[in-house]
Amino acid sequence: MTDEQHRLSMPAAFMPQAASEVPVQLLAITEADLDGLMAIEQAVYGHPWTLGNFRDALKAGNAAFRLMAGEQWVGYFVAMQVIDEVHLLNITVAPVFQRQGWARCLLQWLRLWSQQQGATWLWLEVRQSNESALKLYQTFGFQQVGLRKDYYPASRTTREAAVVMSLSIA
């Protein structure tokens, strides 16, 4: 498919106020985009996904979209659909765009894309210590439904729990 076939229009209601200054697009991530994606992933996370993780996600046919403001990467998400559920695997906003409403914008797009695929539930895991992400997900409507102990690496010798959250989008 061409890039045009993977492009989604961005409704103004989904965008933060800062978005009015440049054109904003949500584009499908391709293999050619992985270098730009990895630069953000490594800048944001102490335990980032590897290039292989992203390649595997694309090869598996998972949804992978990047949010662009002009020529700049704002962020991206990767999600996996299983029947009527979508599992958010990775959502990341570049450091320069954090705390401006872009993560909420990406979540809106995830919800819209999921509904278009016929999904009725969204699921995710988030580090128990990631208070800002937990607050964002809760204000977006996600509810905590479980806890996975020792899910994420925290250091070479310790692990951290994941909060499991879900959101009905039926």
The rounded distance, in Å, linking the Cα atoms of 93 and 76 is 7
Q: Which H or E element spans position 139?
A: helix 131-140
Indicate which residue of 41, 76, 125, 152 is catalytic: 125
Q: Which H or E element spans position 11?
A: none
Asked if 125 contacts 164 with a C-beta cutoff of 8 angstroms, the reply is yes
The rounded distance, in Å, linking the Cα atoms of 167 and 140 is 9
Indicate which residue of 41, 76, 137, 152 is catalytic: 137
Nearest to 140 by CA among 116, 114, 162, 118: 114
Is 71 one of the annotated active-site residues of the chain? no
Asked if 159 contacts 153 with a C-beta cutoff of 8 angstroms, the reply is yes
Strands 159-168 and 72-82 come out as unpaired
The rounded distance, in Å, linking the Cα atoms of 155 and 59 is 29
Is 137 one of the annotated active-site residues of the chain? yes
| Residue 49 φ then ψ, to 5° | -60, 155
Residues annotated as part of the active site: 125, 137
